[in-house]
């Protein structure tokens, strides 16, 4: 993506969404395979000053406070340096107000000394409703555990005021040599300056596509398919009677949710389309939502794979995320091809995605910030809908089983040494595998 | 919509594109949208804004080419061209003087004529996007266009180019203006002088798009050839893609080299697909390619390959770092992988005939179509736009798709573009298009090109036999 590590630096008054953006961006970059970590200076401050007393700490004339805050920023930058130079990090997100040119200059010099590229992300917003909403999120912070809402809001407003006088927003002219994006009024307007490389370009594209309008994303698999009941992977079979039953139940469920303007997406495989047909609403077919291509193993049972391709079978259990089926795909490949789906999901509002096990695991991992190691083992059973609703810095998940029986297609992560799957028992046998 | 829990419709698979569609009594019922994503509900009118020589036409043509390639029917409408049809002989900049009533009248009429054609294209000819390429430098003119769009149900997206760098402006004038029909009978000095005066005619009344005054409009303002962008109110997917594209293109001179892997073992066996290695001749090509690349003396050349053995082997011969892209892999021929065309015809005669009928949209069973290929290659094109000197070592179908993008070829032409083995295509952007140099590296290889068959000619082995194949929509999938 980029030759040298990138340091993303947030800029903005409190309650402008900096941490929201930092966390979301970090989640996205990690999901597409760019090792990224966020460094929230507020957190360093909380570790340093165990008990938060009041906004007075942030007063510009509070020498003690200033000293501590500077130390915390330094400590955070130190950890940034370690992450990017010694721990294999590619991108670090330095999340703080960074509202003065002086502070930003310090960071720029730090980056120059270490050979990092710097990209600023500023959030500017004067809409009182939005700020109020944001403050509610901030009130969930440890700073305010012992306050009632009114006190907390009042203190937070005073905290914001402490920054306002010295706030130097990124300027077209004064900061013309810096690389940055200025997000104005929650994405209504953007100023983008000097995008230097591929990763910055992707970051800008992502930031320009996200929004904060409340909505829900529904993920589910197709109804139970003929190949499912035969214990075979892949293929393009149709639904069993139980699978069709799921379609009907799904239709009822969706109607009961009372969503205005729900978009429905399917793959181009028969089983997802059949499921969508039961809803009696328009839907869009996406080829990139097709199930993972198992290559030479398509339509085989796991025991057949183990018999015919014992080495492949073992390799897959060793690293299920990176393992690519011969003439097929890996989960890693899947994530690449699903990226446009994620981007469009970010743009959209209420969407139901009817897809497949491996595909659903990838999408879920994005929303729930799961690692590459966890992703291939996420539980996505048939006939169950996951309802994802963004809340605060993350995502609320509701799992709704539609009470239609189906086979279980989930394989647990094998314990070290377990490599055989005996279909006559439900417990995998412990065996040492001889690798050829 | 009737939501009574009726039995779901039966599905049938369209034989050409292998798309599952609902059907009744074996016949397809409703044609479901097969586009990757619904780009936009209503047509979009892109409107350029800017003084002359700011790259508006360059941007218009490039954007149009990109949108068409990704499958969004787009056409550009250059008002200057309408003016040239109206005023046969261009005399001088005086035509553009703001106090020239006659000139103003003609120019207004030309803009109207162009908008009329826009309306026809978007409402009757299936157009999805129209690019209205003119200066549109006054708020008054833009308001007229906005009202036109509102009356017709089009979304409007403005693309403004602002630039005060005299070198860039000079380059623009030299590259594209001097070659314009307006200046065929002038020498360079006269032409430049006249053009500068032409620009002056617009400057006094120029009202740039403003953050505050135009806050309700959707637009991107490109400043100083892409150093800075102001983006306001992006409304939908297509506008988001347009912004992303415009933010990734640049005008730094560079060349893109496209070639296929060296001749492969399966090539000489006449078999398609697979993942075989190079023949001795293929390896020879690798060496010649290395010499050729060195002779080009390119600083900082990026080399990209697919993840198939034959392109990587070819790149290895260059002894330089290279990047492997899975999306550059050859088109997946599904069940036909590693078959010879005659075998395909024997085993899958219907498939064989369908492919010849519509080679662009035809999808191999359990495989891909050219249309699918274009979708998966879009990130490659986007990155090629960002990059400077790049050598892409790929495959026949892949190379055809990339070439079609650079040379603005239609979906009909694309699958028949000639991309022979052991030949490098050097593409250099120039003016509004792309210069192509074809360099054969003089290493023999088999010919893998199949010409577009004549109507009725579907038998590979006996060209004299004309077999009629009729394909009905209700044909069951194989």
Positive or negative CA dihedral for A342, A344, A350, A353?
Answer: negative
Confidence of residue A422 (pLDDT cuts 50, 70, 90): very low
Looking at the partner chain, which of A190, A251, A287 has a beta carbon nearest the beta carbon of B5?
Answer: A251
List CB contacts (< 8 A) between A188 and chain B.
232-233
Residues 145 through 174 of chain A touching chain B, CB cutoff 8 Å: 172
Neighbour-count burial of A180, counting CB atoms closer than 10 A to its CB (0-12 exposed, 13-18 middle, 19+ buried) = buried
Confirm if B335 and B347 have CB atoms less than 8 A apart. Answer: no
Catalytic residue among A38, A122, A222, A383: A222
What are phi and psi for residue B159, nearest 5 degrees?
-125, 105
Query: Which residue matches tokens 């009726």?
Result: B6
User: CB-based contact (8 Å) between A256 and chain B?
Assistant: no
Of B273, B278, B277, the C-alpha closest to B338 is B273
User: CB-based contact (8 Å) between A340 and chain B?
Assistant: yes
Long-range contacts of B60-63 (CB under 8 A, 24+ apart): B60/B131, B60/B133, B61/B432, B61/B433, B62/B249, B63/B131, B63/B159, B63/B242, B63/B245, B63/B246
List CB contacts (< 8 A) between B20 and chain A.
268-270, 273, 285
Please enumerate in sequence order all residues whose Cβ is within 8 A of that of A358, keeping only pairs 6 or more positions apart, or say none.
Answer: A291, A292, A331, A334, A376
**B266 marked ligand binding residue:** yes
Query: Which residue matches tokens 């052991």?
Result: B422
| ipTM > 0.85, yes or no | yes
User: CB-based contact (8 Å) between B321 and chain A?
Assistant: no
A9-19: per-residue pLDDT in tens? 999 999 999 99
Of B457, B347, B360, the C-alpha closest to B16 is B360
Taking residue B464's Cβ as centre, other Cβ atoms within 10 Å add up to 6
**B263 marked ligand binding residue:** yes
> b/e for B18-48, b at 16 or more Cβ within 10 A?
bbbbbbeeeebeeebebebbebbeebbbbbb
Q: Give the C-alpha distances (Å, rounded to integers) separating B274 from A203, B203, B283.
A: 36, 60, 18
Residue B390 C-beta-side C-alpha neighbours within 13 Å: 18
Contact yes or no for A284 and B33 at CB 8 A: yes
pLDDT of residue A38: 98
pLDDT of residue B40: 56
Confirm if B234 and B243 have CB atoms less than 8 A apart. Answer: yes
Looking at the partner chain, which of B20, B215, B337 has a beta carbon nearest the beta carbon of A270?
Answer: B20
User: CB-based contact (8 Å) between A89 and chain B?
Assistant: no
How far is Cα A199 from Cα A228, in angstroms, rounded to an integer? 40
Contact yes or no for A270 and B375 at CB 8 A: no
Positive or negative CA dihedral for B175, B180, B182, B186?
Answer: positive
Confirm if A252 and A319 have CB atoms less than 8 A apart. Answer: no
CA dihedral B335, B340, B341, B347 (to 10 degrees): -50
Looking at the partner chain, which of A195, A278, A327 has a beta carbon nearest the beta carbon of B8?
Answer: A278
pLDDT of residue A425: 35
pLDDT of residue B465: 34
**Residue B429 falls in which region: left (phi positive, over 0), alpha (psi -120 to 50) or beta:** beta
Looking at the partner chain, which of A189, A273, A347 has a beta carbon nearest the beta carbon of B20?
Answer: A273
List CB contacts (< 8 A) between A266 and chain B.
none
Contact yes or no for B8 and A244 at CB 8 A: yes
Determine the residue among A210, A268, A331 to mutate to test chain B binding: the one whose Cβ has the most chain B Cβ atoms within 10 Å: A268
Cα Rg of chain A, angstroms: 25
How far is Cα B240 from Cα B248, in angstroms, rounded to an integer? 13
List CB contacts (< 8 A) between B233 and chain A.
188-189
Contact yes or no for B248 and A176 at CB 8 A: no
Neighbour-count burial of A361, counting CB atoms closer than 10 A to its CB (0-12 exposed, 13-18 middle, 19+ buried) = buried
Sheet holding B323-324, edge to edge: B323-324, B302-305, B390-394, B256-260, B423-430, B433-440
Whether the per-residue pLDDT at A433 is higher than 60: the answer is no
Of B407, B49, B95, B399, the C-alpha closest to B205 is B49
What are phi and psi for residue B12, nearest 5 degrees?
-130, 150
Contact yes or no for A204 and B247 at CB 8 A: yes
Q: What is the mean pLDDT of residues A197-201?
A: 97
Confirm if A104 and A98 have CB atoms less than 8 A apart. Answer: yes
Q: What is the 3-state secondary structure (H, E, C) of chain A?
A: CCCCCEEEEEECCCCCCHHHHHHHHHHHHHHCCCCEEEEEHHHHHHHHCCCCCCHHHHCCCCHHHHHHHHHHHHHHHHHHHHHHHCCCCCEEEEECCCCCHHHHHHHHHHHHHHCCEEEEEEEECCCHHHHHHHHHHHCCCHHHCCCCHHHHHHHHHHHHHHHHCCCCCCCCCCCCCCCEEEEECCCCEEEEECCCCHHHHHHHHHHCCCCCCCCCEEEEECCCEHHHHCCECCCCCCECHHHHHHHHHHHHHHHHHCCCCCEEEECCCHHHHHHHHCCCCCCEECHHHCCCCCHHHCCCEHHHHHHHCHHHHHHHHHCCCCCCCCCCCCHHHHHHHHHHHHHHHHHCCCEEEEECHHHHHHHHHHHHCCCCCCHHHCCCCCCEEEEEEEECCEEEEEEEECCCCCCCCCCCCCCCCCCCCCCCCCCCCCCCCCCC
**Residue A279 falls in which region: left (phi positive, over 0), alpha (psi -120 to 50) or beta:** alpha
User: CB-based contact (8 Å) between A208 and chain B?
Assistant: yes
Confirm if B276 and B364 have CB atoms less than 8 A apart. Answer: no
Cα end-to-end span (Å), chain A: 36
Confidence of residue A151 (pLDDT cuts 50, 70, 90): confident
How far is Cα A211 from Cα A207, in angstroms, rounded to an integer? 9
How far is Cα B310 from Cα B323, in angstroms, rounded to an integer? 14
CA distance B244 to chain A (A): 6
A56-99: per-residue pLDDT in tens? 999 999 999 999 999 999 999 999 999 999 999 999 999 999 99
Please enumerate in sequence order all residues whose Cβ is within 8 A of that of A258, keeping only pairs 6 or more positions apart, or say none.
Answer: none
pLDDT of residue A418: 52
Tens-digit pLDDT string for chain B (478 aa): 444 445 668 899 988 999 998 887 766 665 544 444 445 579 999 999 999 999 999 999 999 999 999 999 999 999 999 999 988 888 899 999 999 999 999 999 999 999 999 999 999 999 999 999 999 999 999 999 999 999 999 999 999 999 999 999 988 888 888 888 888 888 888 888 999 999 999 999 999 999 999 999 999 999 999 999 999 999 999 999 999 999 999 999 999 999 999 999 999 999 999 999 999 999 999 999 999 999 999 989 999 999 999 999 999 999 999 999 999 999 999 999 999 999 999 999 999 999 999 999 999 999 999 999 999 999 999 999 999 999 999 999 999 999 999 999 999 999 999 999 999 999 999 988 999 999 999 999 999 999 998 875 555 443 333 333 333 333 333 2
Confidence of residue A186 (pLDDT cuts 50, 70, 90): very high
Looking at the partner chain, which of B233, B240, B337 has a beta carbon nearest the beta carbon of A188?
Answer: B233
Contact yes or no for B240 and A347 at CB 8 A: yes
List CB contacts (< 8 A) between B323 and chain A.
none
Q: Where are the beta strands (DSSP E) in B166-293?
A: 219-223, 228-232, 256-260
Q: What is the pTM of this model?
A: 0.92
pLDDT of residue B178: 83
Q: Determine whether A291 is an active site residue.
A: yes
Point out the least confidently predicted range of A133-142, A231-240, B299-308, B418-427.
A133-142
Q: Determine whether B395 is an active site residue.
A: no
Taking residue B239's Cβ as centre, other Cβ atoms within 10 Å add up to 22
Q: Which residue has the higher pLDDT, B23 or A243?
A: A243
Query: Which residue matches tokens 């009182």?
Result: A128
Of A10, A40, A33, A17, the C-alpha closest to A339 is A33
A292 is written with which tokens? 């993972």
List CB contacts (< 8 A) between B234 and chain A.
208
pLDDT of residue A50: 83
pLDDT of residue B24: 76
């Amino acid at each position: 993506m980029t030759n040298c590590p990138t340091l993303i630096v947030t800029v903005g008054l409190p309650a402008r969404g900096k941490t929201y953006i930092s966390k979301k961006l970090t989640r996205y970059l990690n999901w597409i395979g760019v090792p990224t970590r966020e460094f929230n200076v507020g957190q360093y401050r909380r570790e340093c000053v165990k008990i938060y007393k009041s906004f007075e700490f942030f007063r510009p004339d509070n020498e003690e406070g200033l000293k501590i805050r500077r130390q915390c920023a330094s400590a955070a930058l130190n950890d940034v340096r370690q992450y990017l130079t010694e721990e294999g990090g590619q991108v670090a997100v330095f999340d703080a107000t960074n509202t003065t040119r002086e502070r930003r200059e310090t960071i720029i010099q730090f980056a120059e000394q270490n050979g990092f590229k710097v990209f600023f992300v500023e959030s500017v917003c004067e809409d009182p409703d939005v700020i109020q909403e944001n403050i509610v999120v901030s009130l969930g912070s440890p700073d305010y555990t012992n306050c009632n809402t009114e006190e907390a809001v009042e203190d937070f407003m005073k905290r914001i005021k402490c920054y306002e006088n010295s706030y130097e927003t990124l300027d077209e002219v004064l900061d013309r040599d810096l690389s940055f994006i200025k997000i104005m009024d929650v994405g209504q307007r953007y100023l983008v300056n000097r995008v230097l490389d591929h990763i910055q370009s992707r970051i800008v594209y992502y930031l320009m596509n996200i929004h904060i309008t409340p909505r829900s994303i529904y993920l589910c698999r197709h109804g139970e398919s003929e190949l499912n009941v035969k214990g075979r992977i892949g293929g393009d079979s149709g639904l069993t009677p139980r699978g069709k039953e799921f379609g009907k139940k799904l239709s009822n469920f969706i109607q009961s949710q009372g969503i205005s303007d729900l978009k429905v997406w399917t793959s181009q495989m028969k089983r997802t389309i059949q499921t969508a047909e039961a809803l009696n609403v328009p839907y869009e077919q996406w080829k990139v939502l097709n199930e993972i291509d198992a290559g030479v193993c398509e339509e085989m049972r796991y025991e057949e794979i183990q018999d015919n391709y014992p080495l492949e079978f073992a390799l897959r259990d060793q690293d299920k995320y990176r393992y690519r089926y011969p003439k097929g795909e890996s989960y890693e490949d899947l994530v690449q091809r699903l990226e446009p789906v994620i981007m469009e999901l970010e743009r959209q509002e209420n969407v139901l995605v009817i897809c497949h096990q491996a595909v659903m695991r990838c999408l879920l991992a994005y929303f729930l910030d799961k690692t590459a190691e966890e992703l291939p083992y996420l539980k996505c059973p048939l006939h169950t809908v996951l309802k994802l609703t963004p809340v605060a810095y993350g995502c609320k998940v509701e799992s709704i089983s539609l009470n239609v029986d189906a086979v279980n297609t989930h394989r647990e992560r094998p314990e070290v040494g377990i490599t055989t799957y005996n279909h006559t028992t439900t417990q995998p046998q412990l065996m040492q595998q001889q690798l050829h």
